[in-house]
A and B are shown apart, each in its own frame.
Chain A
């Protein structure tokens, strides 16, 4: 089955700096890679996703890059703000396209924005 490794487990950056969280996956058939943000006391919420036919996707201050050959993908947050403090989860689909199963999540990264 799919295995998703996520690093680092904790990341502390100064407000205004950039943050990068990295994930690797094992199943070369995976083709969908979402990122979820979990604020304190809440459920995870999708912030951006990428599919394997695209190498990069941006949405304002956040971007995700995908390297299919190396089987890794990364979340980039620029100009970090206090409200970016949260736990971030990467994930990969176990099956390509439709299927009965869900996602395999990484273990999460606790991002701390220092004022």
Chain B
């Protein structure tokens, strides 16, 4: 079954405590991306990756890091989380580089930073 798996699904943490949200896909997709979803703001792209070792900033990259060492994994790293990073995070994948393709989303990771 085609899947995009995110972990953890829920996390409550404190300001400044480094955390990593993992994303793994079994569809052999080149493109992976992270979005955050906030009430009234919709989905905003944080970072994306066109392929292994290729990453680039989206619209709201401040405070986040990513890496793409393997094709299937694209972790999102918050080095020093702050309360304004409290949000619902989605990892998404797409086959190929063209934007005109279906995005497959994970089920989301709800992060609360106190």
Contacts and interface: CB of A to CB of B under 8 A. Distances in A.
Interface string A1-20: 00000100100000000000
The majority secondary structure among interface residues of chain A is loop
Interface in A62-115: 89, 93-95, 97-103, 105-108
Given A89-B42, A102-B33, A44 B99 contact: no
A32 B100 contact: yes
Given A43-B106, A43-B108, A44-B105, A32 B42 contact: no
A54 interface: no
B99 A98 contact: yes
A51 B101 CA distance: 11
B60 to A, nearest CB: 12
Contacts of B4: 43
Contacts of A46: 102-103
A28 interface: no
Given A43-B4, A89-B42, A98-B97, A103 B107 contact: no
Contacts of B105: 43-45
Contact of B100 (A42, A51, A89, A107): A51
B113 to A, nearest CB: 21
A32 B107 contact: no
A108 B44 CA distance: 12
B19 interface: no
Contacts of B44: 105
Interface of B: 4, 33, 40-45, 48, 50, 56, 58, 90, 92, 97-100, 102-103, 105-108
9 contacts: A32-B99, A34-B102, A43-B105, A43-B106, A93-B99, A93-B100, A101-B58, A103-B99, A103-B103
